[in-house]
Amino acid sequence: MNRLSLTTRMSLMFMLAVTAVLTVAGVSFNHLSQHHFKMLDQEALNEKLHSTQRILGELKSTDQFGELKPELQALLGAHRNLTAVILGDDGRLLFADPGPVNVPEEFLTTTNNNFWEWQNQEQMFRGLTAQAMVTGRDKPLTVILVFDVTEHMFFFETLQRWFWIGLVISALVSVGLGWLVARSGMRPIRQVTMVAASMSAKSLKERIPLASVPKELQQMVSSFNAMLSRLDDAFVRLSNFSADIAHELRTPVSNLMIHTEVVLSRKRDIEDYEDNLYSNLDDLKRMSRMIDDMLFLAKSDNGLIPHENKPIDLLEVVEKLLEYYRLLADERGINLTVSGGGSVRGDVLMLHRAVSNLLSNALRYTPEGRTINVDIQQRNTSTFVVVENPGETIAPEHLEKLFDRFYRADPARREGSPSNAGLGLSITRSIVEAHEGKIWCTSSNRKTAFHMEFPNAGSKRA
């Protein structure tokens, strides 16, 4: 079954809300109006009753009743819809203006000044039955005052009829207005839908302007624009990454092709073939390491790299690495030092690889005879590892991009080792972030330092 559109549902809800409000208001007005008219009738009947009781109180005997008729007619005959009946203590009719009225028997015997209502076919009456004492007589007279409120009844029936007609018209109008309001309010959502439907790799730069967006939808539109920015950034990085991969793989593949073509160009000795195979093996190893690094980064980006969560003594990790790199450092007269200490929780092999990448990078750019220092400091809830080496100062605009894949601060300068593909710092950042840490680089006064921050072993979640 097809679901109603959001615009249609909002229109129907708006119609129901308007109808409910108008219904409650109309019913309340009807009840209040009827109550108001009833109270007015009761006040008028009470006023006439008190005046009639006062006049009859001056009566000495029923034989003198004829003298009071003119005064009673002036009092009771002034109201067009009022009928007044006075009965003697024996039930005899003493006064009727404008004439007798057929009142039900139960209303004739009421003696406690009760108000009553009576409907006869299409006529409706509202009356009051009371007693009036006469001087010198034990039994009182009965006074019956009756209002013909048929006009009121017709008025309210007409009012109710027009109310229901107006309610139906208002409901239809409210549906149309609700549809217009909902459609106007949904315009930003339609814009989001149109942008999303037309989205492609060439249109990721498009954004929805916030100027015409209602305040309630600005957060949604801002989130959508932010998502487009992230997609655009990811697509650009992916495109650059693909181009860099092609560029980096082209060199070893070209070397393999050239070496093979040269060897196959004529018959050669077995030693020449062996030399070519060894040369090809070096290129294949480089390609293998590059592919492994790219797979590692791809898994890291998607959170697919599991790692251990054990306490690790960083000083012990760094000292083992320094022993390994000291042979290479000694050849160039470079000193390696470590200071401080601290512990974290994580995977020792991954942290070993992260620090190794930084040390290898530092050795590559440190001048001969200088010193590379690794400092480990444990403060509050974090442990800091700083790998500092002397060398050329890196311009500030390059510092944030050093951890991008295949990025080189100086494009004209190639890495010292042919096996280096420019992925070491990217892998290091992935490892640090996998351990809930962060990494950054500072460079000034011909000194460059890479800072890593990790949660302490006691503060990191297991």
DSSP calls for 336-373: EEEEE--EEEE-HHHHHHHHHHHHHHHHHHSPTT-EEE
What's the burial of 251, exposed, middle or buried (CB within 10 Å: 0-12/13-18/19+)? middle
User: What are the CA-CA distances from residue 341 to residues 71, 118, 326, 360 (Å)?
Assistant: 119, 102, 20, 21
Cα–Cα distance for residue pair 95/82, rounded to 1 Å: 13
What CATH number should be reported for the domain holding residue 392? Answer: 3.30.565.10
What CATH number should be reported for the domain holding residue 258? Answer: 1.10.287.130
Assess if residue 369 is contained within a domain. yes
Does residue 345 sit in the same domain as residue 367? yes
User: What are the CA-CA distances from residue 345 to residues 36, 215, 306, 341 (Å)?
Assistant: 82, 46, 14, 14
Assess if residue 112 is contained within a domain. yes
Cα–Cα distance for residue pair 184/263, rounded to 1 Å: 74
Assess if residue 182 is contained within a domain. no
> What predicted TM-score, i.e. pTM, was given to this entire model?
0.48
Say how far residue 225 (Cα) sits from the centre of its chain. 15
Q: Are 338 and 318 in contact (CB under 8 A)?
A: yes
The helix-helix angle for 348-365 and 424-434 (nearest 10°) equals 150
What CATH number should be reported for the domain holding residue 121? Answer: 3.30.450.20
Does residue 314 sit in the same domain as residue 296? no
- Of 148, 165, 182, the one marking the end of a domain is 165
Predicted local distance difference test score (pLDDT) of residue 370: 92
Cα–Cα distance for residue pair 440/450, rounded to 1 Å: 6
Q: What is the pLDDT tens value at each position of the chain, 462 positions in all? A: 567 777 888 888 888 998 999 999 989 998 898 888 888 888 888 888 888 888 887 777 666 677 777 888 777 776 778 888 888 877 788 888 877 677 777 777 665 667 888 887 778 888 888 888 777 667 788 888 888 888 888 888 898 899 999 999 998 998 888 888 888 877 777 777 776 677 676 667 777 777 767 777 778 778 888 888 888 877 777 776 676 667 667 777 887 888 788 888 888 888 878 888 888 887 787 777 777 766 766 666 666 666 678 888 999 999 999 998 888 889 889 999 999 988 888 888 888 888 988 998 899 889 998 999 999 998 888 899 999 999 888 888 888 888 876 666 655 444 434 445 567 788 888 888 888 889 999 998 889 999 999 988 765 444
Range of the structural domain that residue 254 is part of? 215-301
* DSSP classification of residue 139: S
Contacts of 161 (CB under 8 A, 6+ apart): none
Assess if residue 104 is contained within a domain. yes
Does residue 373 sit in the same domain as residue 443? yes
The 3-state DSSP class for residue 75 equals helix
- Of 129, 149, 165, the one marking the end of a domain is 165
Does residue 401 sit in the same domain as residue 283? no
